[in-house]
Amino acid sequence: MSRNIILKMSTICTILLLTAFLFMMTSTAVKVEAPLQPATGPGGANYTHTQVKTTVFGEGEHQYWIFEPASPKPASAPIIVFNHGWLATTPTFYQAWINHLVRQGYIVIYPRYQVDFSTPSNNFTPNAINASHEALNVLQTGDHVQPQLDKFALVGHSVGGLISVNMASLSAVSGLPEPKAVFAVQPGKSRSSEDKVGPLLADLNKIPSTTLLLTLAGDEDTWVGDADAQRIIRETPQIPPPNKDYILMVSDHHGNPELVADHFAPLGAEFSTLNKTIYLLVDARDFYGTWKLFDGLLNAAFNGTNREYALGNTTPQRFMGIWSDGTPVKELIVTDNP
């Protein structure tokens, strides 16, 4: 056998060995996973109640759900009105977040302000206000957890974000409790008086100056963008800059599944089968994003605690957890002057 043939065979063997080695390394590589829910703190799993009591009232665009903490049942609890996004007319789309709030000890009211495309957008805010009034009246009768009317907050996603700031603006004239905290998650799209689609924004100057306010946008949200999230902060000069922030969630494609800050990032549902709870679309975008921010905002507004998790462009506010390989998830971008 000639020397050239031996060298060629040696080269081929080397290539085959390297290929096999690389394949083995690739196939056995550890999957990089997103952060799990923290055990404690804002966004964490330190729940004080194990059950959620659900009741539903009304029909059509006047329907609403009430979620109350149970096991143990508290005598009273703060109130949160949760306004859904366009056509998300049942709580299923946000059930994980709702359960997270209720199991911490909050009452959640979920107005269904629209039936379908046929409901005029001018009806959205009045419907949500009326449903909230009815729910508060129901809670003050019968065997319900009593509402703490001095601890009232609003949160909403997409069109629900616009409805939430509208309700805050109209709280005094509508007779709703004064909101201590408002979180508009990917709010949009508002319309001008000439447009025919989407709700009008109320006079944001009428939101109480003592309200703590957050707006959130996603860098890959192609549905509503960030215009209204920034506008809400700009058009509330009565709220001091330390008490409000515009936040941009940044997508991170480092691991699998990726953490994409699109318009559906705040959605999350729980399904139980064979005594095992399965979470769909619930991940670090919730635990360290929307859940953490709103938990911190509620704690700050109601109890004067955990403000650094919601406001001030702090490290705890921006932190989004750590991938399983030790790489930090891309931080939130925070400003009070968008």
pLDDT of residue 277: 54
SS3 60: helix
pLDDT in tens, 213-256: 999 999 999 999 999 999 999 999 999 999 999 999 999 999 98
| pLDDT, mean of residues 39-57 | 97
What's the CATH class of domain 41-335? alpha beta
Higher pLDDT, 12 or 230: 230
pLDDT of residue 274: 53
pLDDT of residue 254: 96
270 confidence band (pLDDT: 50, 70, 90): low
Tokens of 294: 């709103």
pLDDT at 65 over 60: yes
Peptide bond into 179 cis (omega under 30): no
For the beta carbon of residue 41, count every other beta carbon within 10 angstroms. Answer: 15
Tokens of 9: 């065979």
pLDDT at 211 over 70: yes
Share of the chain above pLDDT 70, in %: 86
pLDDT of residue 309: 98
| pLDDT, mean of residues 196-219 | 93
| pLDDT, mean of residues 277-303 | 90
Q: DSSP characters for 134-178?
A: HHHHHHTSSSSPEEEEEEEEEEEETHHHHHHHHHHHTHHHHTPPP
SS3 165: helix
pLDDT at 92 over 50: yes
pLDDT in tens, 134-187: 999 999 999 999 999 999 999 999 999 999 999 999 999 999 999 999 999 999
Tokens of 133: 């009034």
Instruction: Tell whether the torsion through CA atoms of 271, 273, 277 and 281 is positive or negative.
Output: negative
Tokens of 318: 């921006």
192 confidence band (pLDDT: 50, 70, 90): low
Q: Which stretch of 117-121, 183-187, 197-201 has the lowest confidence by average pLDDT? A: 197-201
Burial class (CB in 10 A: 0-12, 13-18, 19+), 336: middle
pLDDT at 88 over 60: yes
* Chain mean pLDDT for the chain: 90
What backbone torsions phi and psi does residue 99 show, to the nearest 5 degrees? -60, -40
117 confidence band (pLDDT: 50, 70, 90): confident
Residue ranges per domain, the chain?
A: 41-335
pLDDT of residue 3: 47
| pLDDT, mean of residues 20-35 | 63
pLDDT of residue 194: 56
Q: Which stretch of 16-30, 168-182, 283-297 has the lowest confidence by average pLDDT? A: 16-30
pLDDT at 268 over 90: no
Higher pLDDT, 268 or 62: 62
Question: Measured between alpha carbons, how far is 334 from 324 in angstroms, rounded to an integer?
Answer: 25
